[in-house]
Structure 1
Amino acid sequence: MDVRKRRRWPRRLGRLVALALSLAAVALAGALAVTPDVGDAEHRAAAFARAHGAHSPSSAVPARFTAALLATENSRFYHDVGVDPVSVVRVAAAAVSGGGDVGGATLEQQLAKQLYGAGNSAGVVRKSEQAVLAVKLYSRFDKWQVLRMYASVVYFGHGYWGLDAASEGYFGRTPSQLSWGQAAVLAGLLQAPSAYDPIRHPDRACARQQHVLARLVATGQLGSRAAASAACAGPAFHASGDVPRKHV
């Protein structure tokens, strides 16, 4: 490559980057315009909960479940802006390489999908809808409000929608009374309620609970000794109080 070509390459690269940023800005502006306003999110969450026999928590989501949820689902929740830049890069890399869905949706993105149906389209369009609505939710609501809405509309299996119903249904106690082990069981269920069903698949639920507890240790929310004490250990899971009551 001669000197003139070497000089042209940085300029061409700069132009390509500028063009890509311009196109992204146009796409974002268009997405902001066509996606719905999220000012009614709390009303939608309450209506969704009522329709599924649940109800929105009247106060902040209890600390233990919050910690278990965030450690597993969205550890950068309090620092992101509705979307997680690290996950965005990972998803983009997977799209370029032809890889599958690598996850990485924030709580706001998951909430947007539940309340507004964002994500019924495929591929990049689906992710874009979720991302734009997630940023709108972040801009409109405090993080504790997002948590409260999220906890009222997610599914925990066995017909239990919302944290209150799941806590009462599985363990016979309110969310504020959950032990660390029980909070970890419920947080672990959200990824796949059927696969980690602690009534039908206690061994899988035990393994998932241990993963959540390990994440709590990794994120500094729980000490290793406390996590070990809260964790199931094979058959001990059945006697620990962390296995939900069997349905009659």
Structure 2
Amino acid sequence: MAVAAGTPSRRRRRRRRWLLACAVALAPVLAVGALWPTTPGVGNAEVLIRSRLETHDAPLLGALPTSDRVARALVATEDSRFYVTPGVDPISAARAGFAMLTGSVDTGAATLEQQLAKNLYFPQDGGLLDKVDEAEVALKLDVGYSKHEILRMYLASVYFGHGYYGLPAAARGYFGTTPAALTWAQASLLAGLVQAPSAYDPVVHLDAARLRQRHVLNRLVATGVLTRAEATGAFAAPLGLR
């Protein structure tokens, strides 16, 4: 005989699935606490950034520009909860855990701290164990530095494609200008590059870069940074690519 919906048996199975989903979601958090002493400290983050830039003959970003347009576009697109999470987004972690349990697409996204941790400490993709370590180092970055400092370090060291490491090199290389002088059109294009710098390289793949730029502008509207009219104007404005 078929079990009717809402019977105790059906409810027990549903409860077990949700408990298992919660356990999967919490497992990385518990692992972070247990493995905290075994992962790198982050006191040398600035040293690693300088070394990375020297290797690629790139200038250092000493401070975020006052306009901080790229930073605002980056947060809107890559990590809209940046200012309210402790380096790891529990909502994204729970979503990723549930996706792992159900075999669906993992919709969890890495925070800016996790991305910075990967860039500086785990540049080679080592699979699931490295993801746990990245999360742990992301928490350490959030404890050790202010959000403002993390944004600056991220923009100082991230790869923007076409051989440009860090925001000063990208602003100069793509547009012949400084980070402080970037327009919303230019800033939104640059913020879109960090997800896939080679695929969105505007010198080689301008159409793809422009589609990504439109997405960034839409995110700026969705997060209340720009109005729809301002975003439309930014997309229509000349980029001034060199």
Q: Give the TM-score normalised by the residue count of structure 1.
A: 0.82
Aligned to 2:188: 184
Are 2:97 and 1:89 aligned?
no
2:235 is aligned, of 209, 225, 231, to 231
Distance 1:207 1:118 in 2: 27
Are 2:147 and 1:150 aligned?
no
What are the superposed Cα offsets for residues 7-54 of structure 1, whole Å, 9 maximum, x if unpaired? xx7xx97xx78xx59977763333201101111111111221211222
Aligned to 1:108: 113
Question: In the TM superposition, what is the alpha-carbon distance from 1:101 to its structure 2 partner?
Answer: 4.9
Are 2:172 and 1:172 aligned?
no
Q: Check whether the contact 1:82–1:106 (CA below 8 A) recurs between aligned residues.
A: yes
Aligned to 1:215: 219
Distance 1:65 1:115 in 2: 20
Gaps of 5+ in 1: 233-239
Aligned to 1:237: none
Question: In the TM superposition, what is the alpha-carbon distance from 1:152 to its structure 2 partner?
Answer: 1.4
Q: Map residues 112-131 of structure 1 onto 2, 5 A cutoff.
A: 112-117=117-122, 120-122=125-127, 124-131=128-135
Are 2:136 and 1:132 aligned?
yes
Aligned to 1:40: 44
Distance 1:139 1:154 in 2: 21
The 3 A distance-change label for structure 1 pair 223 and 96 is same
Are 2:69 and 1:78 aligned?
no
Question: In the TM superposition, what is the alpha-carbon distance from 1:243 to its structure 2 partner?
Answer: 5.0
Aligned to 2:70: 65
Q: Check whether the contact 1:155–1:190 (CA below 8 A) recurs between aligned residues.
A: yes
Q: Map residues 7-46 of structure 1 onto 2, 5 A cutoff.
A: 27-46=31-50
The 3 A distance-change label for structure 1 pair 168 and 103 is farther
Q: Give the TM-score normalised by the residue count of structure 2.
A: 0.84
- Tell me the amino acid that sits aligned with residue 69 of structure 2: R
Distance 2:161 2:210 in 1: 16
What are the superposed Cα offsets for residues 114-171 of structure 1, whole Å, 9 maximum, x if unpaired? 111177321x323211111100000000011111111111111111010000000100
The 3 A distance-change label for structure 1 pair 222 and 24 is closer
SS class of match (2:35): helix
The 3 A distance-change label for structure 1 pair 56 and 176 is same
SS class of match (2:52): helix
Between 1:100-109 and 1:217-226, the stretch displaced more is 100-109
The alignment covers a number of residue pairs equal to 228
Percent identity for Structure 1 against Structure 2? 46
- Tell me the amino acid that sits aligned with residue 73 of structure 2: A
The 3 A distance-change label for structure 1 pair 25 and 64 is closer
Aligned to 1:235: none
What are the superposed Cα offsets for residues 205-245 of structure 1, whole Å, 9 maximum, x if unpaired? 2211111111101100011111111114xxxxxxx431521
Distance 1:83 1:220 in 2: 23
Gaps of 5+ in 2: none
SS class of match (1:66): helix
